[in-house]
Amino acid sequence: MGSNEGWGFQTMGFAAAPDGSLHIAYTPLGIYFRSRNGTAWVTENLIRFNTKATMVDPAVPRIDGKDPASVTGTIRLVAAQDYDHASVTLRVSPMIDAFILCAGLGTRLRPLSEHIPKPLVPVVDRPAVKYAVDRLRGLGARIALNAFHRAELVCEFAAEEGLIAVREGSLLGTAGGLQNAGAALGEGDILVWNGDILADLDVPALLASHRASRAEATLAVAPRSPGEGTVGLGAEGQIVRLRGERFGEELSGGEFLGIHVVGQALREGLPEVGCLVGDVYLPALRRGARLATHVERAPFFDIGSPGGYLGAMLHELARRQVSSWIHGSARVSPGVTVTASSVGPGAEVSASIASSIVWPETRVTEPLHRAIATPFGILRACPSELQALP
């Protein structure tokens, strides 16, 4: 099977072994398959698979002399009835590098962000940015983070996760940060994700929209009524309103999620210091460039404010179908209730809490509601944010 020109689902036939299994490995060049009878296929620029299968036998020899870059294993087909010839359906997408913005100061979360960079604040059992990393890993390509504020912590996280960290000597902005990271990333389109955004985004669908639009960039947006939100959309989903400037008739509004695909043409003109929206997208729209959108209806949260941070935690608890999360090393006093909250490792809770976040190694001695308790103090959501929280 060769490279797929479009997107969607593609079926590959193979002569299976009697147990209906084949070898699979992810490499930087694509996915390599080999059935146990020795037949092999090489796919070009294909990186995702979606099939009814069970992973077994995680240790698989190198395929065609190449070391797998990430996941290796053997999949056993669940639905294969004909063991002479079987097939597997793949959802495929082209490789793309990703860049996560982690250099900001996190001023809205001060004083918490003075100690930990905003993308690294804990959301239930992991740093906030880890949720984006986990979604992007399936792309099979490089993931880079930029680092400035408390850069040593961002670089430490990147090393633990096997990611690329790009330090900045001064704040370069979203456009300057991407330009500065150019040498660490490959050429072509780049998926950019704000490190303080948690979103249940269908990444392959976003990339499919960008590819189909042939636009210079594609922004993920939540739907809004005409005139509402940070962007306006035209009849074909193109950007016609941005930061108060209009470039066509608006039929609907949208809230930019801070997740977008920046095309190679725009990357070639990135400033050394500057903002992707103000210094790249607006000038592009003024010269008549097409910027597309991908409408995403899944929940998203900006953890840059206390209310958004708490909302992200509550959503994650609901997604896991648990009422609260308490780390095994945390201690909760007898008779104390923990409702719709997360309690980190080493924390001690001796008063009831609700809809709150307790950071690791934090002592809670007074009741909390809609609050973030840390070793450095307690932060509460402002009144305007409380209506959205239980």
Q: Between 371 and 5, where is the model more confident?
A: 371
With CA atoms as reference, report the closest residue to 284 among 242, 250, 255. Answer: 242
Report pLDDT for 1: 29
Given a cut of 50, whether residue 204 has pLDDT beyond it is: yes
Residues 6+ apart with CB under 8 A from 159: 165
Q: Which of 148, 140, 155 is nearest to 186 (CA)?
A: 140
Average pLDDT on 210-221 reads 92
128-137 and 151-161 helices cross at what angle (nearest 10)? 40
Strands ordered across the beta sheet of 40-42: 40-42, 30-35, 21-27, 72-77, 53-56
State the chain's mean pLDDT as an integer. Answer: 76
pLDDT score for 383: 58
227-235 contacts, C-beta under 8 A, 24 or more apart: 227/253, 228/253, 229/253, 229/254, 229/255, 229/256, 230/254, 230/255, 230/256, 231/255, 231/256, 231/293, 233/293, 233/295
Quickly state the pLDDT bin for 202 (edges 50, 70, 90).
Answer: confident
**What's the pLDDT tens digit per position in 269-321?**
999 999 999 999 999 999 999 999 999 998 889 988 888 999 999 999 999 99
Report the C-alpha gap between 340 and 191 in whole angstroms.
33
List beta partners, residue 28. Answer: none
What the chain holds in terms of domains, given with CATH numbers, is: 8-92 (no CATH), 97-301 (3.90.550.10), 306-386 (no CATH)
Q: Is the pLDDT of residue 116 over 50?
A: yes
For position 29, what pLDDT does the model report?
33
Does residue 253 contact residue 295 with C-beta atoms inside 8 Å? no
